[in-house]
Every structure is written in structure tokens, then in C-alpha cells.
Copies of this chain bind each other. A is one copy, B any other.
Amino acid sequence: MSLLTVGSVAFDALETPFGKTDKIIGGAATYITLSASYFTNKNNLVAVVGDDFPQEMITNLQERNINTEGLEIRKGEKTFFWSGKYHNDMNTRDTVEVQLNVMENFDPQIPESFQDCEFLMLGNTAPAIQKKVIERLRTRPKLIMIDTMNLWMDIALDDLKDVLKLVDVITINDEEARQLSGEYALVKAAAKIGEMGPKTVIIKKGEHGALLFHGGHIFFAPALPLEEVFDPTGAGDTFAGGFIGYLASTGDVSFANMKRGIIYGSAMASFCVEKFGVERLFELTTEEINQRIAQFVQLSAFELEV
């Protein structure tokens, strides 16, 4: 089934203990759509960039079967830019610079051919924009998933609560889940967030894995213990893209299938961090993905009869 991803396509400049990049391609929607492209070939993108965005990169996305008809290119304007520096533990980072540029008045237009999308992924942007996307779809998708961040809890909490009423799945990291719910224990946090709208709550714990809460059930997927994390940028978005891409490819939104989606998402995220930016997400093979999935099975499988 078809997937529509809406969110940022950006330039990033990164510094990690392993090195430094110039402006490279980033943005939540870029990671999401690339990750999903390994699962579904009905992969539609709505985003905005400036005319400084390289045509070559758009071609690269198209070559991965991503439909870029909804990628607006604004003449005379500049692409959203973020630069960040990771600390030595790779778990924490400082934002060095943000230039909103075209994102300042992102007004997502949905091409007619995208109107029939069955899965909608709202990458992290202002909640009011996320809501606008839902309103502009004539038919409600089978599944709407949203990502957000602490910034919107600080400056646009009412908007965020508004859009949460309209979605099925939220991905959120542990600290953000605590902030949004006011609860420290993640079980309680997930329950409170579920009451705000999304029936399915996915709490991302980075190197500590992810928790899926749905209908009173809890599923936990570990992150793969890695020898090196080269660049964690986009890992959460890549996880979300693998998850919803897998759901879209199967058309199955049952809890059992969501568990599989979480494993696929975790596998994709484990590739993402191996190189700078989206580099790894352009070069994967099905065989590599299947091998990694097998590692996840090995990592968490045990046999025990009570």
C-alpha cells in the first residue's frame, strides 16, 4: 500500500568524535522515506527545499522509487539547515546552529496523485503543519503516524494536543514521553499519551531499544549492540521509516505485525548509524537487511516453557 511522508528535507553539518562533515543532506523526511523505500515502492514525499538543494540528490531519491512530485523547490530561498555536535558518549548532542529558511512557512501541498495514500507518516515539524496535512487529505488514511519533539511541547503544546487527537501511532523518545505526560515511569507515560489520542505509542530509548504499547500489551525490541556508532543523526527517523514502510508493504496493522515492524525499524536504524548522514541508506541490499533481522532474532530469542 502507498505511504505518504511529510516533513523536513534539509542540510545538516555534523561533528562527531569520528569526524566532521560539510553540509550534507539530512532532514527527518529524507531519513524516513529512504528507510521506507526498502519496503514499499509506493513511496510519496511532501517537503520543501530552496533552490540551493542539489538536483542530483532529488534524482537519487527518485532512483530509490521515491515519488518527489510533492517536493516543492522555492526559487530564491534556502533549504532548512541544522548543525550539531555530538558529545563523546554519542548519546547527547548540542545544536550549533539552526536556519529555518524555507521551513519558516512550510505549507505542505498534497499532489492529487498522493490523495489516495493509505499510510501517512508525519515527520517532526510544527504540530499545526502536521494537522494541516491531515485536513488536506480527502480520505483518512488507514494509519496515521506522527513524530514530534520537546520543542513543540515547550512552544506549541496546545497545537500538539490538537493533532494528537487525530493520529493512530506516535513515536517519541523516553525523555519527551516523560515531558509530555508528566510521568517518569514509561508504562504510565505511555498510558497518558495514549489517552491524548494515539492508540499505539512507541517510546524510543536510543541504544536501549524501543517499547511498543498497544491495547494493553507491551512489546520491547532491543537495539543491536554495536561496536561503533559513527553518527546517530536520523536513527529515530530511520526507525520510524522502517516501521511504517514495513506496515505499508504488508497492509497489516495488527499488533503482531507492528512487532515485526519494530524489529525492521530497529534493523534499519542500526544501519543508519554506521556512516555519516543518509549515506548507508542509499546502498543497502535486501540480503544485508535480512542478515541483520536474523541478528535481531538471535539477540532476543529464547526457549522457555513454564
Contact = CB atoms under 8 A, between A and B. Distances in A.
Interface in A247-306: 256, 259-260, 262-263, 290, 293-294, 297-300, 302-304, 306
Interface in A154-209: 184-188, 205, 208-209
Given A89-B184, A185-B228, A209-B222, A304 B293 contact: yes
Contacts of A226: 185, 187
Nearest to A205: B208
B303 A256 contact: yes
Interface in A226-262: 226-229, 256, 259-260, 262
A106 interface: no
A218 B226 CA distance: 11
A217 B298 contact: yes
Contacts of A290: 306
A225 interface: yes
A219 interface: yes
A211 interface: yes
Interface residues of A, number: 38
A260 B209 CA distance: 20
Contacts of A88: 184
A220 B225 contact: yes
B304 A220 contact: no
Contacts of A205: 208
A300 B297 contact: no
A55 B178 CA distance: 45
A229 B185 contact: yes
Nearest to A223: B220
Contacts of A300: 219-220, 300, 302
15 contacts: A185-B226, A187-B225, A205-B208, A208-B208, A217-B298, A218-B225, A220-B222, A220-B225, A256-B303, A259-B303, A262-B302, A263-B304, A294-B306, A297-B306, A300-B302
A302 B219 contact: yes
A260 B301 CA distance: 10
Contacts of A302: 219, 221, 256, 259-260, 262-263, 300
A230 to B, nearest CB: 11
